[in-house]
Chain A
Amino acid sequence: MAEMRFMQAINRALGDAMEADADVVLLGEDIAAPGGPFGVTRGLLDRFGESRVRDTPISEATIVGASVGAALSGLKPVVEIMFMDFMTVAMDAVVNQAAKAHFMFGSQRPVPMVIRTPHGGGLNAGPQHSQCLEAWFAHVPGLKVVCPSTAADAYGLMRAAIEDPNPVVFVENKSLYPIKEDFPDEPSHVAIGAATIARKGGDLTIVTYGAARKTATDAADILADDGVSAEILDLRGIQPWDEAAVLASLAKTHRLVVLHEAVEAFGAGAEIAARIADIGFDELDAPIVRVGAPFMPSPFGRGLEAEYIPNAERVVAAARRVLE
């Protein structure tokens, strides 16, 4: 077991997928020669050449639209959108084209493409470079959405996403990129939509994904000092998400907190809470409580952003509410 940074794990997954399948190509702004704005694609141009690793102009609508066309014509494009905020510029290609082509054209062709895009705050990058917009995409039938929290999962989910015959929005929290973690010698695929238990516990379940898993862990540590044992379920997949795993944990704990960095209102947590309130009603001993960002654009100033991003204290407070 060696150590690997989160971003290196994605790089390795891209490289391994390109070795395994000559149809996999990479497109994006500054991803080839410069190796990506965050360095995620470093070295891949040298290994696979200009034909398969392409620097594009600043043309999000076109590079995502072109990925749809390429996917319908036999390639498996992995396109990078530098910040999730810029997905807005490519929205037609994602929502009206990629998501619908298989269905609308009578299942003639799949659309095997991946859109890699970083979300999340912590860099004081302000309202247009920090957003967590995954719920938008999870709302669109035809798209899959994943958001890993560990290096091994990033690898495994990327391999699965590239092999998936559907468009997958692969969300990478930028605060995770430099984090070094244990990485298996022989990493494996992770099924899209399969959650994992990040920490075992019996008193309540915290369902989360992405960088918020770390926040959940910090909260669980605080709760443990008070003798409360929290189970943390890392969803990994947001669309589809692992209902069965949430229900199984709930059957043990009977209490549920849903946590994400994204804005709480109308977020992924709203769907999870609504669904579990329905199918898990008999298991619940308390209302489901959500923790997410307040209903406000990501603010710039240091103090503002620090207060904006959900922290362990807020998760602990939510836990206390469901334990009342």
Chain B
Amino acid sequence: MAKAKPTACDNRTARLRDLHERMVLIRRVETRLGELFAEDEIPGFIHLSIGQEATATGIGAALGTDDTISSTHRGHGHALAKGMDLGGFFLELFGKADGICAGRGGSMHVADFDIGMLGANGIVGAGLPIALGSALAHQVKGRKSLSAAFFGDGAMGEGVLHECLNLASIWSLPVLFVCENNGWGEFSPSDKMLATTPLKLAAAFDVPAKSVDGNDVEAVADLAGTLSDAIRAGKGPHLLECKTTRVLGHFAGDPQKYRDPAEIEALAKKDPILRAERKLRRAGISAGDLAATSERIDNAVEAAIMQARNGANADFASAAAAVYAGGA
């Protein structure tokens, strides 16, 4: 039988399957992280992005390995969507010697410079100028790359965002500002804390901006693609607001007493993964197919966890020798 030429529709479905798979990976990784934290296998501060996978994934789909990103305290999804190796990721979260940051950084500091992931960050807003500087490097060196700066709605309170919008605008830097607007900054609802919106703020600095349903992975990928094309074409910085949902607490272990249980319950309807799955089913992908994807990912995640568990602990002498580059 002659092979039919793939249609645009098939291509879209194939892309959605990839996006879906990436989201399932992030969800599975973070679900397990929550459990491992609760079981005290993983220490430290863990911020999960469950419910927000479509923003990381959709943006990630628009970026290549030569593009750079800076991330936030809630950065697992960004890292995995940029292509961070699962083994190195888990080893890091377990604090092991072979972790992607040699066990010195942990959840809030995962980074992999080889794939343009310039680091999650423990300081709200701090990733913004780092992405901006990376864009400056792209510009000065004449690279066609762009730099994406993830930030939460809460970071709009920090002056550094305003400074970055201004500087990116006057220097026409290849920056994609990505606001993950989940409506919360820790325990405070953002509508009480912010007098403006990301779009209005961007407009004040002449940065073109769009807003998207951040739980619709195709919509995010489409718009991120359009804005990235504009940035690569030399049209300067752009901002994309992804309206999304923080399903869990601010940090793993947060009982969320400050939140109306009805609000949390309503979030289930907006689940980005279930939405993608409904679309895939309509496009003819079978339930068995989806289950197979999920099983493959579970296996990969469990293997990475096992490897991390058994990895050697980070060793103090090598940490001490790493304070300065080029040896002490």
Contact = CB atoms under 8 A, between A and B. Distances in A.
A33 B194 contact: no
Interface string A41-58: 000000000000001111
A304 interface: yes
A300 B123 contact: no
A294 B316 CA distance: 11
Interface size class of B (residues with CB under 8 A): 35 or more
A57 B313 contact: no
B151 to A, nearest CB: 11
B148 to A, nearest CB: 21
B155 A58 contact: yes
A74 interface: no
Contacts of B159: 59, 61-62
Contacts of B315: 303
Contacts of B45: 123, 125-126, 129
Contacts of B192: 55
A128 B123 contact: yes
Task: Provide the main secondary structure of the chain B interface.
Answer: loop
Contacts of A141: none
B3 to A, nearest CB: 51
Contacts of A123: 43-45
A58 B194 CA distance: 10
Contacts of A307: 316
A304 B95 contact: yes
Contacts of B314: 299, 301, 303-304
B225 interface: no
B44 A126 contact: yes
Given A55-B188, A127-B109, A299 B157 contact: no
Contacts of A56: 157, 193
Nearest to A300: B106
Interface string B88-118: 0000001110010001111011000000000
Contact of A301 (B96, B122, B188, B258): B96
21 contacts: A29-B185, A29-B186, A33-B258, A34-B186, A57-B185, A58-B154, A58-B155, A58-B157, A85-B122, A89-B125, A89-B158, A125-B44, A126-B44, A126-B105, A127-B104, A129-B108, A129-B122, A299-B104, A299-B319, A302-B43, A303-B314
Interface of B: 43-45, 94-96, 99, 103-106, 108-109, 121-125, 154-159, 185-188, 192-194, 258, 313-316, 319-320, 323
